[in-house]
Amino acid sequence: MNPAEEAEKLRATAGPASGRSIIGETTEAVHKFLLEGYKLTDSPPRIEEELKFVPKDREEILYIYMYRVAQNQNLMNQKRLRQAPVFVKDDPEKTGEVYYHRPPVLLDLFYLISVHSKFRSDAERLLGWVLLRLNEATHLIYRPRRFLLPDGREVDSLGRPYDVKNFEGQRTNSEGELEEDDGLFIEKVSLALVDDLTVGDAINLFTLHEAPYRPFLTYRARVALDGPLYKSSGGATIRLPRLERASPPSDGQGDSPNGRKRTGSGPPPTIKTPPGPKPYMLRKNADADNESED
């Protein structure tokens, strides 16, 4: 089977991409975070994504425009398949389901934020509030990581039905008892103020959109795009016997499970002299000369 046929067979077993909507959700999170924190006036400003839009009634406008998407050069993953961090408690001897995926694509989303008001002083006031408000956004998105299985189910990293508000690291088995797991994987989207556009670049951008130049801020959001999961069946099951504690020897000197001697067990060690002739205390002639001079 050639590589093209193998890739086609692999795509046939793939599910939907888990992170296909994270870019749009990040933009919506920026809108929501700003609107929820606005308390300067009774009515919040209008959010627009078209830079050329100019209101006729001189209302306050908050422009949020994503102008660039770039791959994070500091965190670049290889494209080979690896086991996905999805721990679905299926019986491997019956179903044999193991999920693989390619490492997520780590991206930087760059946003241009500008304001418009009837008076320039009001626009500058609004711009200052935006700067302080976004400074409080430690994480735009903080939720359990979502995975879409090939059969269409939405689960978290512990294999439970996905719930955006469930941050518990434990789950219950079929008998209702709690099970210990490796922990819950969390999806985080950070936001930071960056100096990504020069004034000349901003003028070209506003001119391209046939919009007047306005004071602006640039922000960078870092996201991870998860691709589809691939289900693999079969494989070998390796069973290892449970390690048992070894019984101490009859002479009373016990060993720890890792093979080392237990501290304080057995008689104290005897001091042995090195083999050879009887040792003598020697010193250099320079030491004797120093004593005679004194």
Gap between the Cα atoms of 48 and 34, Å rounded:
13
The confidence score (pLDDT) of residue 216 equals 93
CA-based R_g, the chain, Å: 33
Domain ranges in the chain?
Answer: 3-231
- Beta strands 147-148 and 154-155 are antiparallel
Residue 124, classed as helix, strand or coil, is helix
Q: What is the mean pLDDT of residues 223-245?
A: 71
Label residue 261 by pLDDT band (50, 70, 90): low
> Average pLDDT of the chain?
79
Q: Which amino acid is at 197?
A: L
Q: Are strands 216-225 and 105-116 parallel, antiparallel or unpaired?
A: antiparallel
**Residue 245 to residue 258: CA distance in whole angstroms:** 10
Band the pLDDT of 31: cuts 50, 70, 90.
very high
User: Given strand 98-101, what is the order of strands in its sheet?
Assistant: 82-83, 98-101, 230-232
> For the whole prediction, is pTM greater than 0.85?
no
Kindly tell me if the per-residue pLDDT of 236 is higher than 70.
Answer: no
Q: What is the rounded distance in angstroms from the CA atom of residue 46 to the CA atom of residue 151?
A: 41
- Residue 62 near residue 49 (C-beta atoms within 8 A): no
- Sign of the alpha-carbon dihedral angle for 31, 32, 38, 43: positive
Predicted confidence at residue 280, as pLDDT, reads 72
Q: What is the predicted pLDDT for the residue at 227?
A: 86
Provide the residue type at 120 as one letter.
R
* Number of residues assigned to the chain: 294
Q: How deeply is 178 buried, as exposed, middle or buried, from its count of CB atoms within 10 A (0-12, 13-18, 19+)?
A: exposed
Residue 233: pLDDT over 90:
no
For the residues 268-285, what does the mean pLDDT come to?
71
How many of the other CB atoms lie within 10 Å of CB of 14? Answer: 15
Say if residue 6's pLDDT is above 80: no
DSSP letter at 226 equals: -
pLDDT of residue 265: 58
According to DSSP, the residues that pair with 99 across neighbouring strands are 231
If you average pLDDT over residues 214-223, what whole number do you get? 93
pLDDT at 278: 76
Instruction: Note the pLDDT of residue 223.
Output: 92
The band of 64, judged by pLDDT with boundaries at 50, 70 and 90, is very high
Q: Does residue 200 have a pLDDT over 60?
A: yes
pLDDT higher than threshold 70 for residue 259: no
Residue among 64, 105, 39 at smallest CA distance from 191: 64
Return the higher-pLDDT residue of 178 and 44: 44
Mean pLDDT value of segment 223-243: 72
Q: Would the pLDDT of 110 be above 90?
A: yes
Q: Which of 35-49, 93-107, 153-167 has the weakest average pLDDT?
A: 93-107
Q: Are 77 and 106 in contact (CB under 8 A)?
A: yes
- Average the pLDDT over each of 72-86, 245-259, 267-281 and give the range with the smallest value: 245-259
Among 45-54, 187-196, 230-239, the minimum mean pLDDT is found in 230-239
